[in-house]
Structure 1
């Protein structure tokens, strides 16, 4: 873990953290404003698999892919998934660095707190696994496998749990940093 901390500390300049944070959120806004709506235009009001934090089952996937039709499934593969292959890397990197940056400000960039920086990395890896699962499902349609759906759904669940846990940790760290800043001003 010491090597992990050393690697992180090399990249903790405020400018670098801010640059990655902005880049990550530009890609995220693009997905929310362009690629997801473009794909959802074909979905008859159904949510895409990427947007179901509690997972899904074979019936849902079958209904969604039927609703999307051939053009919608192709749009999912060629518009949403490519952008979502960039985002997990940026999410993992920028939010790992962001949390490390704030932990360093609290003088807590040490074990066991450094392990918290792995939460966005876990989320990013799960997002990639989810994406590969979705690609497999889209390419397999209409011959969907229960096992493939359950596996992809499990990665969606891991992604949502680790992402939620990360944001809870980040909020707690920001609150602690706020208290530290207020107390420093009082003295």
Structure 2
């Protein structure tokens, strides 16, 4: 089955809503529990997952030194395992969410249909980032500049594709909202 037929088949708003709730439950758990736990060891430094504009070798060493053994273990055994679930949910959920609203607008064709791939691309970049962070944590204190550059590249790709996606999603939601508003006022 090709992706267009799959996305067209997943018409149910209930399916999209359930997946949205599951995705955002995991995200809230990361924001409220695992990220603050790791950050509590970081002396005010941001963890790599929370740096959308990137980082360099000096910053990574500074962060990992500040985290200490407990903080690095918290990153490795608390944050990263949850962040290995989240990209799958993110990619699938936000792909289906955009497809759902594009279908509502009768615009699920051409270039807009392919925009549904943006969250999948962001999810792949997030997995690559997570694997890079895992590698950096496991090789600490012998962190290679190449590993940091590669991991940072995936962080930047994740951030850019997510930002573009959310701008597109907001545009589609506004378009959908205006369309509903227009039809309600027109047919009163």
Into which bin does the TM-score normalised by the smaller protein fall? over 0.9
Q: TM-score, normalised by structure 1?
A: 0.97
- Structure 1: which 4+ aligned runs deviate by more than 3 Å? none
SS at match of 2:2: helix
Q: TM-score, normalised by structure 2?
A: 0.97
SS at match of 1:112: helix
CA apart distance, 1:88: 0.3
> Distance in 1 between the 2:30 and 2:182 partners?
40
CA apart distance, 1:175: 1.0
Q: Which digits, 9 at most, give the CA deviation of each residue in 1:20-61, with x for residues without a partner?
A: 000000000000000001111110110000000011000000
Tell me the equivalent position of 2:26. 27
CA apart distance, 1:112: 1.5
> Distance in 2 between the 1:10 and 1:45 partners?
47
Q: Which digits, 9 at most, give the CA deviation of each residue in 1:73-94, with x for residues without a partner?
A: 0110000000000000000000
Q: How many residues align?
A: 186
> Distance in 2 between the 1:71 and 1:169 partners?
40
Q: Which digits, 9 at most, give the CA deviation of each residue in 1:147-170, with x for residues without a partner?
A: 000000000000000000000000
Q: Which digits, 9 at most, give the CA deviation of each residue in 1:126-182, with x for residues without a partner?
A: 000000000000001000100000000000000000000000000110111112112
> Distance in 1 between the 2:154 and 2:102 partners?
28
> Distance in 2 between the 1:112 and 1:38 partners?
41
Tell me the equivalent position of 1:146. 145
Does 2:15 match 1:49? no
Does 2:147 match 1:161? no
- For residues 37-186 of structure 1, the aligned pairs below 5 Å read 37-185=36-184, 186=186
Q: Which runs of 5+ in 2 are unaligned?
A: none
